[in-house]
Amino acid sequence: MRRPLANGLELDDDKSRVDRAEVHRYLSDESYWASGRSRETQDRLIDEATRVVGLYQGKRQIGFCRAATDGVSFVYLADVYVLEEYRGRGLGEQMVREMVEGGDLGHLKWLLHTSDMHPLYRKLGFGVPNAKVMERLPPQ
């Protein structure tokens, strides 16, 4: 899938197009959820993702998200971001909508963790956060 958006922007789910250095830079340096993540780990997450969707302006990576699934019952949405200077234009919504509805996983249950952006995900059919999710963090 390669889909043009307004103003020369584009969505693409081609893993080979992902600017891995830029995705790693953003996630490890700017995100609250992947702070300090190693490049090796980030590359493996991209390689093993069921699907990725990137947001581009020409060759510049300006957004990213990835999904992992068991292929039968659920899909986990992760590492969703749009660079700050591109926010407020609905690009995150378009990118996540493409991820959730544009591929062949739309019929499965989608899960995600987020401390913010609940209004965005509710627009795409995610329910109100509740207390059912439990996490077991790895030992440190």
Delimit the domains of the chain by residue range.
2-123
Q: In angstroms, rounded to a whole number, what is the distance separating the alpha carbons of residues 82 and 73?
A: 28
Instruction: Locate 78 and state its tokens.
Output: 């992760």
What mean pLDDT is predicted for residues 99-115?
91
CATH topology of domain 2-123: Aminopeptidase (3.40.630)
pLDDT of residue 130: 77
Q: In angstroms, rounded to a whole number, what is the distance separating the alpha carbons of residues 70 and 132?
A: 20
What's the start-to-end Cα distance of the chain, in Å?
A: 39
What mean pLDDT is predicted for residues 59-64?
98
- Indicate the angle between helix axes 39-48 and 20-29, nearest 10 degrees: 120
Strands (E), 26-127: 51-57, 60-69, 74-82, 109-111
Q: In angstroms, rounded to a whole number, what is the distance separating the alpha carbons of residues 140 and 138?
A: 6
136: confidence class by pLDDT, cuts 50, 70, 90: low
Residue 18 has pLDDT above 80, yes or no: yes
- Top pLDDT among 101 and 117 is at 101
Count of CB atoms within 10 A of residue 111's CB? 15
